[in-house]
Amino acid sequence: MSTDPAVAQGFDFSPWTFWTDVPGPEQERQLAWQGEQLGRRPGWAFGDRALLSRFASVDNEVLVLGPRSYVAAGAYLTGSVTTGRDCSINPYAVVRGNVVIGDAVRIGAHTSLLGFNHSFADPETEVFRQPLTSKGITVGNDVWIGSHVIVLDGVAVGDRSVLAAGAVVTKDVPAGAVVGGNPARLLRWRVPPAGAASDAAGRGRDGDLAASLRAVADRARDQAYDVIARCWDPAVGLFADRPGVAPTVRAQCDAVEIADLLLGEAPTQLPADEQLARLRAWQDEATGLVAELGADLRCGRPGAGWPDPVESYHILSVGHALSLLGSGFRVPIRFAARLSADELVPALEALPWGDRAWSAGHAVDAWATALVWNAAMGEAGVSGTSDALIGWLVRRADPMTGVWGRSTAEEGLLQPVNGFYRTTRGTFAQLGLPLPHPQRVVDTVLAHAQDTRWFGPGRHTACNVLDVAHPLWLTRHTGHRAEEVRATAARLAVDVLGQWQDGAGFGFRATAPGGRSADTVPGLQGTEMWLATLWLLADVLGLSDELGYRPRGVHRPEPAPGTAHAT
């Protein structure tokens, strides 16, 4: 092997075989060069057989090169740059700002990853004198970035994607996508998402999905009387969720919702005015709450203070059933009417946001919905309490995830995502207010929807899919990661469509390949929730008209009538 310095310098520009083909003295010179840099740069670290060309312009506060990663001659790096293993930053590439790169990422010559931006809000100040901003750039694993690509600040590039030469990437790149152009758009899939209908072949599947939506909706309408009738117990004159279980308050409300959704009328088992009178009579005069039916099929006395989980949901289900029947509660819901901001904030702080965000969101949903029903009756509540609730939620939403609560090893993102749905359903969605961090919500929900513990074959439940569908629907106006959102909605819609059981409806849980359980038996709750979820997923795909119905109850898409704000 030649020891000519000019030959050695050639490996600075083409360093991929440096550690196998360059003579030992030149390798020792590289290690000494690295040691010199590490000695005076506390924020730098190099993995085994990493390479930093002496002819690169590198001025980083933080520079971490994983094993077998290299920076070639002519590259220009500043800020905080971190790579995983087997990465390349080829000649004359520019990587600046806050940039985090995964494993096996190759960056072509003359490409720029710009993890910062110039602000220009003040027209009286020259742009170069105004502050810099930085959202940062993240690049996943196994990504190929061609030559002359530009990636702008704030972009996340998904695993196993390809950025074609010359692309100008201004928005997030879905995992497995091949993008190109200015601005970059999806060209095809290197690794298609499961169930995606997003590539050229997918356009044909969209037609198939539309036909499937129509078919299931038509079957549901044709069979609606049977679905409702199988849950009616004529001996006691009440609905149960499914045959063989005790009647509940919620079952009466679910029957009203299904009949309204599919038939445009009240359930025919009783005259509508009798159903209305019974629901209104169940409201407790002293608290305004509705307790669960006891063994004697009468409502008990609700507890004092913030309602328990069952009574909390009755604020939603009974209130919306009354609304669909053309009426409302008889008296205000007292705990909401009397709650002051000074009492609310400690109550919010005490909710289990850290590890049980669904329960916390359930409580917030009940309080906010109670406020809506009270306002419809002319009971405005204590001044400032509603504003305190929204302000607290805005301040406490995690700007990195857009949600409340944290991921756990046991459940992943299940609690934060499900809690986000319940929290925002009653507040931001019901009041017509914009979300604090909608794009980060999309990121979080898409990541959660890939968790096979909750979205693998036979593992779907109506709650878990609804709690993905509604946030994706609520954030659809952002256009953020739109192709991935559509692919996820299409995959979940196909899974839902396959669960309808003729004459009975939907079970709460999808039927697992290995058998059935109690919550896979079709019932009113599962049927009501899945029909609403299917509408949300179809609307994300622009196909909701195929269903011929639109939810008007608990899961209605519009803000509550009379709210003062607009999305």
Catalytic residues: 118
| SS3 assignment, position 458 | coil
The rounded distance, in Å, linking the Cα atoms of 467 and 78 is 41
b/e per residue, 368-377, with b = 16+ CB within 10 A?
bbbbbbbbbe
3-state secondary structure of 476: helix
CB count within 10 Å of CB 208 equals 12
Task: Residue 177: name the closest of 386, 459, 482, 461 by CA.
Answer: 482
Before 183, cis peptide (omega within 30)? yes
Question: Taking Cα atoms as reference points, which of 369, 382, 377, 230 lies closest to residue 290?
Answer: 369
391/251 Cα distance (integer angstroms): 35
Separation CA 34–CA 49 (nearest Å): 11
Residue 124 tokens read as 């009286």
Torsion of CA 390, 392, 395, 398, to 10 degrees: -90
Instruction: Give the H or E element holding residue 465.
Output: helix 462-474
CA-wise closest residue to 55 among 12, 26, 118: 12
Instruction: In whole angstroms, give the CA distance from residue 358 to residue 476.
Output: 22
CB neighbourhood size of 187 (10 A): 16
Give the max Cα distance, the chain.
Answer: 99
> Burial level of 20, CB count in 10 A (0-12/13-18/19+)?
exposed
What is the C-alpha separation between 94 and 89, in angstroms, rounded? 8
**d(C-alpha 280, C-alpha 169), whole Å:** 57
Closest CA to 14 of 63, 48, 60, 55: 55
Query: What letter does residue 240 receive in the DSSP assignment?
Result: B
What CA dihedral angle connects 360, 363, 369 and 373, to 10 degrees?
-170
Alpha-carbon distance of 359 to 345, in angstroms, equals 17
Eight-class DSSP state of 55: T
Q: What is the CA radius of gyration of the chain?
A: 29
